[in-house]
């Protein structure tokens, strides 16, 4: 009986030692705590400015032109005033009718689309890229505002943080129109979207 009792005590001690080792190792795995201090997480920003002002649209007023007259080159300076690089830039042109007062003898008011089809875009660049090369002249009379506004100008090269790129545009009312488009005009809105 003594032998059995001594084997029983030895077994209980063995079980206790094994349990202590298992519990001790599990506790060691879950009790290692590290801490750090002064961690600040701030999301980066894209901040597109046009001509050094907030707002991502510019408006070009095309009214009162005489046939053959050019607007001259208009430049919009785009600046990424944020701290993240912009991966791409989307450009969108749209227009609405903005007619002046018809002079005596004028033949009437044309729609915005009819007016846009008579305004030839002679310059359209972004940075060093000539955007007109990617636009199709569907009617063979020059790339007009109607065609340019319908073109997909998304996915242009982005602007790095604190860098600038220029967007330039120049237009001309077709020569030889006579008085058919007197006092007809459009306002062209150019929208810029900088993407991360």
Q: What is the pLDDT of residues 74-125, one digit of tens each?
A: 999 999 998 999 999 999 999 988 876 655 555 556 788 988 999 999 999 9
> pLDDT tens digits for 15-36?
554 545 445 554 444 444 444 4
Statement: residue 49 has pLDDT above 50: yes
Cβ 191 vs Cβ 100: under 8 Å: no
Report d(CA 102, CA 85) in Å as an integer.
48
Instruction: Please state the rounded mean pLDDT for residues 155-182.
Output: 89
| Torsion region of 141: left, alpha or beta (phi above 0 gives left; psi -120 to 50 gives alpha) | alpha
Relative to beta strand 129-130, strand 153-157 is unpaired
Residues 160-180, mean pLDDT to the nearest whole number: 89
- Please measure the distance between the N-terminal and C-terminal CA atoms of the chain and give it in whole angstroms: 82
Rounded to an integer, what distance in angstroms lies between the CA atom of residue 71 and that of residue 183? 15
**What gap in Å lies between CA 63 and CA 159, rounded to an integer?**
32
Contact 80, 160 (CB under 8 A): yes
The answer to whether 126 and 89 have CB atoms below 8 angstroms apart is yes
pLDDT at 148 over 60: yes
CA atoms within 13 Å, Cβ hemisphere of 167: 27
- Predicted confidence at residue 31, as pLDDT, reads 44
pTM beyond cutoff 0.85:
no
67, 111, 180, 185 from 107: Cα distances, Å: 15, 13, 6, 14
For the chain, give every domain's residue range: 48-195
Give residue 151's pLDDT band: very low, low, confident or very high (50, 70, 90): very high
């Amino acid at each position: 009986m003594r032998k059995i009792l001594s084997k029983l005590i030895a077994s209980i001690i063995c079980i206790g030692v094994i349990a202590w080792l298992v519990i001790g190792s599990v506790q060691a795995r879950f009790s290692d705590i590290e801490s750090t201090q002064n961690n600040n997480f701030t999301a980066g920003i894209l901040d597109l400015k046009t001509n050094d002002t907030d707002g991502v649209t510019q408006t070009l007023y095309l009214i009162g032109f005489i046939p053959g007259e050019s607007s001259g080159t208009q430049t919009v300076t785009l600046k990424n005033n944020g701290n993240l690089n912009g991966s791409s830039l989307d450009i969108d042109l749209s227009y609405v009718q903005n007619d002046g007062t018809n002079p005596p003898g004028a033949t009437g008011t044309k729609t915005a689309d009819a007016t846009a089809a008579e305004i030839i875009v002679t310059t359209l660049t972004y940075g060093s890229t000539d955007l007109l090369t990617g636009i199709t002249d569907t009617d063979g009379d020059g790339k007009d505002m109607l065609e340019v506004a319908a073109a997909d100008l998304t996915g242009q090269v982005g602007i790095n943080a604190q860098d600038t790129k220029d967007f330039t545009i120049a237009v001309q009312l077709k020569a030889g129109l006579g008085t058919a488009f007197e006092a007809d005009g459009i306002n062209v809105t150019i929208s810029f979207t900088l993407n991360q």
